[in-house]
């Protein structure tokens, strides 16, 4: 899961889907010593302890908290939640504004 998709999902998903994701994560991950995507100086075990160990469905969490959870563990989201992700494509940039330089 990349950062942009994580942010978009964090703004849309309810805590219910994130709890399902965390349950799937607990069942699936066996090596908690891998490097974290959110903070490269920590392992995913530390990330879990900081972000997910006390996550509850009726809690109020910031978009950044949810974004980091989804960014780290989003591969374990249920399929109905993954369907909300836009396809990755390059963003077409507008032509930059330009003026010829004026020399004295």
pLDDT tens-place values along the chain, 104 residues long: 888 888 888 888 899 999 999 999 999 999 999 999 998 999 999 999 999 999 999 999 999 999 999 999 999 999 888 777 766 644 345 677 777 777 77
The structure tokens listed for 4 are 């942009």
Residue 90, in any domain of the structure: no
Structural domain includes residue 91 = no
pTM above 0.85, yes or no: no
**Residue with structure tokens 């994130």?**
18
Q: Please tell me the total count of domains within the chain.
A: 1
The answer to the question of residue 86 being in a domain is no
Within a domain: 89: no
Residue 94 falls inside a structural domain = no
Does the residue 85 lie in any domain? no
Which residue carries 């160990």 as its tokens? Answer: 53
Count of C-beta atoms within a 10 Å radius of residue 97: 5
Spatial separation of the C-alpha atoms in residues 101 and 98, rounded to whole Å? 9
> Is residue 11 assigned to a domain?
yes
| Domain-located, residue 57 | yes
Domain that holds residue 22: 3-78
């Amino acid at each position: 899961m990349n950062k942009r998709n994580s942010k978009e999902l964090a703004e849309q998903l309810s805590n219910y889907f994130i709890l399902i994701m965390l349950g799937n994560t607990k069942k699936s991950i066996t090596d908690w010593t891998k490097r974290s995507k959110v903070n490269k100086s920590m392992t995913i075990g530390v990330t879990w302890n900081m972000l997910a160990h006390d996550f509850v469905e009726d809690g109020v969490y910031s978009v950044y908290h949810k974004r980091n959870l989804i960014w780290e563990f989003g591969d374990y989201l249920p399929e109905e939640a993954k369907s909300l992700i836009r396809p990755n494509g390059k963003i077409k940039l507008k032509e930059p504004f330009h003026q010829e330089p004026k020399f004295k």
